[in-house]
Chain A
Amino acid sequence: MFKFALKNMAIKKAKIILIIISIVISACVGILAYNISEQVDSGFKSTAAYYDMIIGPSGSSTQLAMNTMFFTEKPLGTISYEYVENLQKDTRVNKVVPFTMGDSYNGAKIVGTSPDFLEGKSVKKGCLYKEKFECVIGSAVAEKYGLDIGSTLVTSHGLTAGGHAHEGNPLTVVGILSKTKTAYDNVIFTPCETVWATHDHGGEDEESHEEDTTHEDENTKSGHTEDEHHEESDNHDHESEDADHGEGEETHGDHGEVCAILVKSKSFNAYSQLSAEYGENSKLLVINPSEVLREVLENVDMSTQIVYILCLIILIMNIFIISVITLLNMYDSKKEIALMRLIGIGMNKINLVYIIQNSIIGFISTILAFVFSRICLMLMGGYVASMGIVLDVAKIYPLEIAIMAVVFVISVLPTIICTLNMSKKDGINE
């Protein structure tokens, strides 16, 4: 029976291949849309979950979250390092990580931060930085530019390639991160001190920081010497910098400014208090990354819903197309069926042959749809990684299995209905 069904399919291979392609495309789009949206969603949430508060200069919440979590977007500006020191002293805080950004190496962004920022990331080679001008590089940076432990790199001003080169302050690679397939792969991490020293912060040409504890002026009174480079590079993004050189508060002791502070508080109460306290400062923006990313996701969800609707339309169209093709196929097979009936083959056997045939088509289509969806996931992995999310090709959601089951049923159902109708007619057409 199975063998005959296969032989019968083999003589109609062109038609069957077209049917399979049609089913595979629709099923693959459906599976892919669902899988990616789920993985992006959970990836966003897990990335954002670690820190409960991010403090930056006032501006866009999304920009601040995306900049600190995924290194996309530009920094909003800078705030005083004094906030970092205050938070470090605060007993309600578990962890405080300063974050600064402004330079790049051939387009790879340089993040000035403490080694805590890399907690949980594995170092493939070397170790984490300890001193100024040491750096740890992402695996993609190492691969792309042939960098190894001991290599030196000259950074340039601004977040894209082509800015003013800081030739006097090359960085030395002391560690290479393992491949994470996330935005970390394309970033160079170094102590904040490196960034400040590169821009000559805290040097003798800077006035000492004199701000009060309310930090009211930090964004408007930046004494940031990076401004020297404003005319040299269009890529410089420190929006808060202005022409008030020398009047700013950033140079607090040996410290310059930071673009953001990532905070992990000890409890929800602690978070609420800190959030309220720092939120009062109009010059500061305090965000909960989870909340911001949830908002981002709601927008993404809108797009996802549009994709779902499109998938649904494609699926409905395909149900129609598959049904029509199957019915036409059965109509074409009428002669064949009549032939088999004339020589005495029972209708139940004939039904079974066609049900087996369409089950094979459905099974192959479903499997191929799944395989193609995984290939697409792999191909799209690189793109999604830029948002700091790793797409797990092996991740299968229950709804994906449901979609595959529906596709299988759609491929077989019209045949069953058709053959059952034929079976009801007792007798052979004269």
Chain B
Amino acid sequence: MINVKNVSKHFANETAIDYSDITFEKGKSYMLLGASGCGKSTLLNMIAGILSPETGSIEIAGEDMSKKSQKEKDKFRIQKIGYIFQDFKLIPEMTVMDNIGILRLEKVDISDVDNVLDSLEILDKKNKKVKHLSGGEKQRVAIARAIVKKPEIILADEPTGNLNFSIGEAVIKQLIEVSKGKTLIAVTHDERLGKYFDHIIDMNEVTGGRRDV
């Protein structure tokens, strides 16, 4: 379970976002909708320990993320969180396998990689360089890297943002499929994909958008 309580985050451009309390239950999938700048990605980054909230707390399974050092947050993220980025965050010159293999630097077990790639229908691309893959394939590689370590939480920041609807829909279906039993929080602008998630949260209502400080 993830509890977001009284969280606010200030930005360098003298704006801030205040979050209402939200709870994400274990094993459920959530779709975060909302206008640009309303704080969707910021919330994911705070849950992942990439950003730190100025006020309030983010508790994951009873542990307060805001009290952890960056090193502890990194460790938590590599062990328990699978993060899927909109722009994939892959090294184009490396192969699919090498991109996933980066996790070995932190001694993450990736022995299930073939099954994961197979379930995402990209096993045949395993030894291809990422730069030679299509957008949909790259997004699947990013998903594979996020889920191969069997995380408890999967965070997806606009996973279909760079894909057309049909490919994006296929990717979301696969993401939902491989995330069964885990907590999935996905940010997306496309309401049509909402039917695949357990819950849809309108972030405009949660934060009310940015305010000047």
A350–B145 CA distance with the chains assembled, in angstroms = 18
Q: Which residues of A contact B45 (CB under 8 A)?
A: 430
The answer to whether A428 touches B50, judged by C-beta atoms less than 8 angstroms apart, is yes
Q: Which residues of B contact A349 (CB under 8 A)?
A: 105-106
A55–B102 CA distance with the chains assembled, in angstroms = 77
Closest A residue to B91 using CB positions: A336
A157–B105 CA distance with the chains assembled, in angstroms = 78
A350–B70 CA distance with the chains assembled, in angstroms = 14
A343–B100 CA distance with the chains assembled, in angstroms = 10
Q: Which residues of A contact B74 (CB under 8 A)?
A: 341, 344-347
Could you mark each residue 47-59 of chain B with 1 if its beta carbon is under 8 Å from any beta carbon of chain A, else 0? 0001110000000
The answer to whether A342 touches B75, judged by C-beta atoms less than 8 angstroms apart, is no
Could you mark each residue 373-389 of chain A with 1 if its beta carbon is under 8 Å from any beta carbon of chain B, else 0? 00000000000000000
Q: Which residues of A contact B94 (CB under 8 A)?
A: 7-8, 11
Q: Does B195 have its Cβ within 8 Å of any Cβ on chain A?
A: no
Q: Does A340 have its Cβ within 8 Å of any Cβ on chain B?
A: yes
| Min CB gap B140→A, angstroms | 16
The answer to whether A353 touches B83, judged by C-beta atoms less than 8 angstroms apart, is no
The answer to whether B52 touches A339, judged by C-beta atoms less than 8 angstroms apart, is no
Closest B residue to A428 using CB positions: B50
Q: Please name the 8 residue pairs, one residue from A and one from B, whose CB atoms are nearest each other, closest first.
A: A344-B78, A11-B93, A344-B77, A426-B70, A339-B89, A349-B105, A346-B74, A345-B105
Q: Does A4 have its Cβ within 8 Å of any Cβ on chain B?
A: yes
A421–B124 CA distance with the chains assembled, in angstroms = 41
Could you mark each residue 174-209 of chain B with 1 if its beta carbon is under 8 Å from any beta carbon of chain A, else 0? 000000000000000000000000000000000000
A349–B103 CA distance with the chains assembled, in angstroms = 11
Q: Which of B50, B91, B102 has a CB less than 8 Å from the CB of A345?
A: B102
The answer to whether A343 touches B70, judged by C-beta atoms less than 8 angstroms apart, is no
Q: Which residues of B contact A168 (CB under 8 A)?
A: none
Q: Give me the interface of B with A, judged by CB distance under 8 Å.
A: 12, 45, 50-52, 69-71, 74-79, 81, 83, 85, 89-91, 93-94, 98, 101-106, 145
A340–B105 CA distance with the chains assembled, in angstroms = 10
Q: Can you give 21 A-B contacts (C-beta < 8 A)?
A: A1-B105, A4-B101, A7-B94, A11-B93, A339-B91, A340-B105, A341-B74, A342-B50, A343-B78, A343-B89, A343-B102, A344-B75, A344-B76, A344-B77, A344-B78, A344-B83, A346-B75, A346-B106, A349-B105, A426-B71, A428-B51
A8–B94 CA distance with the chains assembled, in angstroms = 8
| Min CB gap A392→B, angstroms | 45
| Interface hub of B75, B89, B90 (most chain A Cβ within 10 A) | B89
| Min CB gap B172→A, angstroms | 21
Q: Does A427 have its Cβ within 8 Å of any Cβ on chain B?
A: yes
Could you mark each residue 107-151 of chain A with 1 if its beta carbon is under 8 Å from any beta carbon of chain B, else 0? 000000000000000000000000000000000000000000000
Known A-B contacts A1-B105, A427-B52, A427-B70; the reply to A343 vs B91 at CB < 8 A is no
A361–B78 CA distance with the chains assembled, in angstroms = 30
A237–B145 CA distance with the chains assembled, in angstroms = 85
A12–B94 CA distance with the chains assembled, in angstroms = 11
The answer to whether A346 touches B93, judged by C-beta atoms less than 8 angstroms apart, is no
Closest A residue to B98 using CB positions: A7
The answer to whether B104 touches A4, judged by C-beta atoms less than 8 angstroms apart, is yes
Known A-B contacts A343-B78, A430-B51; the reply to A11 vs B105 at CB < 8 A is no
Q: Which residues of A contact B70 (CB under 8 A)?
A: 426-428
A342–B88 CA distance with the chains assembled, in angstroms = 11
| Interface hub of A339, A343, A353 (most chain B Cβ within 10 A) | A343
Closest A residue to B45 using CB positions: A430
A4–B85 CA distance with the chains assembled, in angstroms = 22
| Min CB gap A7→B, angstroms | 5
Q: Which residues of B contact A341 (CB under 8 A)?
A: 74
Q: Which residues of A contact B51 (CB under 8 A)?
A: 428, 430
Q: Which residues of B contact A7 (CB under 8 A)?
A: 94, 98
Q: Which of B89, B91, B101, B103 has a CB less than 8 Å from the CB of A342?
A: B89
Q: Which residues of B contact A4 (CB under 8 A)?
A: 98, 101-102, 104-105
Closest A residue to B71 using CB positions: A346
A12–B51 CA distance with the chains assembled, in angstroms = 31
Q: Which residues of B contact A428 (CB under 8 A)?
A: 50-51, 70
| Min CB gap B64→A, angstroms | 17
Q: Which residues of B contact A427 (CB under 8 A)?
A: 52, 70
The answer to whether A343 touches B83, judged by C-beta atoms less than 8 angstroms apart, is yes
A350–B74 CA distance with the chains assembled, in angstroms = 12
Q: Which of B69, B71, B103 has a CB less than 8 Å from the CB of A343?
A: B103
A430–B91 CA distance with the chains assembled, in angstroms = 20
| Min CB gap B141→A, angstroms | 12
A256–B101 CA distance with the chains assembled, in angstroms = 87
A12–B75 CA distance with the chains assembled, in angstroms = 29
| Interface hub of B45, B74, B81, B98 (most chain A Cβ within 10 A) | B74
Could you mark each residue 331-372 of chain A with 1 if its beta carbon is under 8 Å from any beta carbon of chain B, else 0? 000001001111111110110010000000000000000000
| Min CB gap A3→B, angstroms | 8
A336–B98 CA distance with the chains assembled, in angstroms = 13
A340–B77 CA distance with the chains assembled, in angstroms = 12
**Apart from A4-B105, A341-B74, A345-B78, what are 19 other A-B pairs with CB-CB below 8 Å?**
A1-B105, A4-B98, A339-B89, A342-B50, A342-B83, A342-B85, A343-B83, A343-B102, A344-B76, A344-B77, A344-B83, A345-B74, A345-B106, A346-B74, A349-B105, A350-B105, A353-B105, A430-B12, A430-B51
Could you mark each residue 261-276 of chain A with 1 if its beta carbon is under 8 Å from any beta carbon of chain B, else 0? 0000000000000000
